[in-house]
Structure 1
Amino acid sequence: MTCIEHLDDKFDFGKFSGCTFAEVLEYNPEYITWVVQNVNGSMCIFCDSVVEELQLLFPKFEITHRFEIMRNHRIVEFEEAKDCQEKDYYYGRQCNDDYEDSSFGRYAGSYAQDEMGYSDDDIDTIFDGDPDAYWNID
């Protein structure tokens, strides 16, 4: 698991394995957004400290509302996976049997998901699978 805390921390997976966060930002900043949207939190998370450094040193990198929602979602995934591993170690059982990952793909491009941050599971449950019904929430 990679926990990127500073711009000089290195990725240990993917096509930029061995490169620092800063190097990836200079070469391919879109990859940072791709990681947040596609790599589950048990593999990689971007801590608050690296986001603060990012905003100071790379002000042109836009941190969107969706980026922050997805980053926070990944942090929650990480915490849940860590809790599960700790419990399973203690009880001597397999991890993640009951862990269900809510996705952010089926309704990509909808306002409810991209701007409001609702997951596919949220949209299925709250909006009965209709992402355009977000306007009716009080």
Structure 2
Amino acid sequence: MKFLMTFVLLTFASASFACTDFAGNYLDDDSNPYSIVQSGCESFTLAGKSNIADGQFRTQQETAAIKISSAASFIDYYLQVENIVDYKTPFPPEMPLDMIPAKYVTLYTIDWKGNLAIDTTVYNNKNEVISSENTTHQRL
């Protein structure tokens, strides 16, 4: 009886820490093939760029004009990648700041056919949604 209870507890505990496996080959919107390589729930490589999936922001790109920081996390059956854009130079006063992207949040899931479903939402500096896009990339 003790063995059975221990087995059940360990089974539920390991299931709660599992994440979706996104590893595979896909076709992008222009029918170009690409791969996702995944190391458990700790990291993944997408489009040749390695990412640690611990939710911590890291600088991904920096120029004289902008700095882009990214954080990735496996949440339930999603992979969430959040990009924050910091602009280093001020915008002209006539520029409508409500339409300037400040954050991109992308959720990756696997649909019922095994394809990669990608939902991207773009936010301004007031955390208001500017735009969103949903695409599906076919698994090869």
Q: TM-score, normalised by structure 2?
A: 0.24
| TM-score under structure 1 length normalisation | 0.24
Which has the higher Rg, Structure 1 or Structure 2? Answer: 2
* Higher strand proportion: 2
